[in-house]
Amino acid sequence: MLGKIEEVKKAIEAFQIENQQKLEEFRLAFLAKKGVITDLMAGLKEAAPDQRKAIGQALNDLKNFAWEKFDGIQSTMVSASDSVDAPDMNLPVQSLPLGSRHPLSIVRQQMIEIFEQMGFAMSDGPEIEDDWHNFSALNFPENHPARDMQDTFFVSKDPDVLLRTHTSTVQVRLMEKQKPPIRAIMPGRVYRNEAISARAHCLFHQIEGLYIDRNVGFKDLKQTLYHFVKEMFGPDQKIRFRPSFFPFTEPSAEIDISCLICNGAGCNICKYTGWVEIGGSGMVDTNVLKANGIDPEEFTGFAFGMGIERTTMLRYGIRDLRLFTENDVRFVSQFAGLS
Ligand code: DAH
C-alpha cells in the first residue's frame, strides 16, 4: 500500500499543468470524489491494523501534497488572467484627435489682425436690419435695383425689415454712436437672394472698413489696402484699383489682385482675365456723412468692403464656394493646425 502511495505521489509530481483544462484533469484524476486518493482512502480499512496508522498518515500527506500543487497552480493562473484585463499603466497615452478651425474663421482672424495692427478697432451690428441702415443712410436712391425682392431677403415690407445685404450697415451704426475720428473694421455675415453656385451663395461674409478723420485722402485708402494685400497674400502680390460706382462712395474703386489660382494665366475663377476682385472701396460720399450727422467740410473718410469667402478661396486655392457650407470633414480637416 505504501508503495502504491509513493507511485501516486510520483504521478502527481510528474503531472504537467499548463492550462485550465490540464488543471481540471488533475483535479479529476487525484482530488475528485472518484479520484485516486479517495480510492486509496477507501482501501485503508483493508490494511493490516498495525499498519493503518502509518498508511493513514501517508495518505493524508499525499492528499495535502496534491492540494498544494493544485492550489499553487490555480492561484498563478487566476492572477495571470487578472493581469490581462487590468490596464497596462506603461502603455503610451492615446492622443485625442484635434479638431480644426473652419477656413473662414482662420482667414477672418488673419484679416482682423492685419487691420488691427494698422490701428483699426472692431465693431459689429445686427444681421436683421431696416431700410435706413441697409440702403437710405448709404445714399441708395429710392428705385435702386438692390432694394428689389430679387436681390434682398425681406423679413417684412412696410416697414421694411430685411437681412442685411452688406456689412456697410455697420458703418451707419458706428457713425450714429461715435464722432470722428473713426477707424474700425466690421466683419459679419450678409445675405443675398442669389442662386447657389461655385461662385455665389445666398449667405456669405464680409469685412467692412471705415476711416473718417480730418484730411483723409484716397492715398490713405490705397496705402491701407496695399499693405493689407501684401500682408495677406505675400510681398509679390499685385493689386490694382479699378474705377467703379457705389452709391455710398465717391469716387469709388473696385479692388483687384492678381489671380493666385492661375498666377495670371487665366482660369474660371478670374474669368480668364488674370485679375480677381476682392472687394469695393472709395471715399465716403458727402451725402452719407451728412445723413449721419458728420460735417463733410471738416471730415473726410474712406471705406471698403471685402469678401471673406473670396479672400479664403484665393489664399488657399479653393475653387468652389459651396465647400464652405457643406460640413465635409475631409475639406475642413485639411486646415488642421492653422489658426
Ligand atoms: N457694400 C459693398 C458690397 O457689398 C462693398 C463695398 C464697396 C463696401 C465700397 C464699401 C465700399 O465700404 O466703400 O458690394
- The per-residue pLDDT for range 77-109, each reduced to its tens digit, is 876 665 666 778 888 888 887 788 999 999 999
- The mean pLDDT value for 47-70 works out to 90
The atom number, within ligand 1, closest to the CA of 167 reads 1
Write the burial class of residue 235 (CB in 10 Å: 0-12 exposed, 13-18 middle, 19+ buried). Answer: exposed
CA of 247 to the centre of ligand 1 (A): 9
- The mean pLDDT value for 187-203 works out to 94
With a 6 A CB cut-off, is 140 part of the ligand 1 pocket?
no
pLDDT of 6 reads: 92
Angle made by CA atoms 45, 46, 48, in degrees to the nearest 5: 100
pLDDT of 49 reads: 87
Sign of CA dihedral 327, 271, 187, 170: negative
**Domain 103-335 CATH assignment equals 3.30.930.10:** yes
Here the cell at position 45 is 480499512
Q: How confident is the model at residue 28 (pLDDT cuts 50, 70, 90)?
A: very high
Q: Which residues of 307-327 are buried (b: 16+ CB within 10 A; e: fewer)?
A: bbbbbbbbbeebeebebbeee
Tell me: the pLDDT tens digits for 230-277? 999 999 899 999 999 999 999 999 999 998 888 888 887 788 999 999
Q: Alpha helix (H) ranges present in 141-241?
A: 168-177, 218-233
The atom number, within ligand 1, closest to the CA of 282 reads 13
With a 6 A CB cut-off, is 301 part of the ligand 1 pocket?
no
The atom number, within ligand 1, closest to the CA of 280 reads 7
User: How much is the mean pLDDT over the chain?
Assistant: 92
CB-based contacts of 103: which residues, under 8 Å, 6+ apart? 312, 316, 318, 324, 332, 335, 338
CB-based contacts of 324: which residues, under 8 Å, 6+ apart? 102, 103, 104, 201, 309, 312, 318
The atom number, within ligand 1, closest to the CA of 302 reads 13
The atom number, within ligand 1, closest to the CA of 306 reads 5
Atom 4 (ligand 1) nearest CA: 166
CA of 88 to the centre of ligand 1 (A): 62
pLDDT of 303 reads: 98
Strand 121-122 and strand 182-191: the pairing is: parallel
Here the cell at position 17 is 499543468
Is residue 326 within 8 A of residue 205, CB to CB? The reply is: no
Atom 3 (ligand 1) nearest CA: 166
Q: Which of 167, 185, 248 to mutate to test the pocket of ligand 1 (most atoms within 8 A of CB)?
A: 248
**What's the CA gap between 189 and 324, in Å, rounded?**
13
CA of 263 to the centre of ligand 1 (A): 26
**What's the CA gap between 108 and 116, in Å, rounded?**
12
Is residue 19 within 8 A of residue 26, CB to CB? The reply is: no
Is residue 21 within 8 A of residue 27, CB to CB? The reply is: no
Here the cell at position 179 is 464722432
Question: How is the chain split among helix, strand and coil, in percent rounded to 5?
Answer: 45, 20, 35
With a 6 A CB cut-off, is 69 part of the ligand 1 pocket?
no
Give the global pTM: 0.73
**What's the CA gap between 253 and 306, in Å, rounded?**
12
With a 6 A CB cut-off, is 208 part of the ligand 1 pocket?
yes
3-state secondary structure (DSSP) of residue 67:
helix
Q: How confident is the model at residue 74 (pLDDT cuts 50, 70, 90)?
A: confident
DSSP 28: I
Strand order in the sheet with 161-163: 128-130, 161-163, 154-156
Decide if pLDDT at 174 tops 80: yes
Write the burial class of residue 14 (CB in 10 Å: 0-12 exposed, 13-18 middle, 19+ buried). Answer: exposed
With a 6 A CB cut-off, is 309 part of the ligand 1 pocket?
no
Specify the domain boundaries for CATH 3.30.930.10 within the chain. Answer: 103-335
DSSP 139: T
Q: Which of 164, 246, 277 to mutate to test the pocket of ligand 1 (most atoms within 8 A of CB)?
A: 246
Atom 8 (ligand 1) nearest CA: 305
Give the residue among 187, 196, 168, 190 at the shortest CA–CA distance from 288. Answer: 168
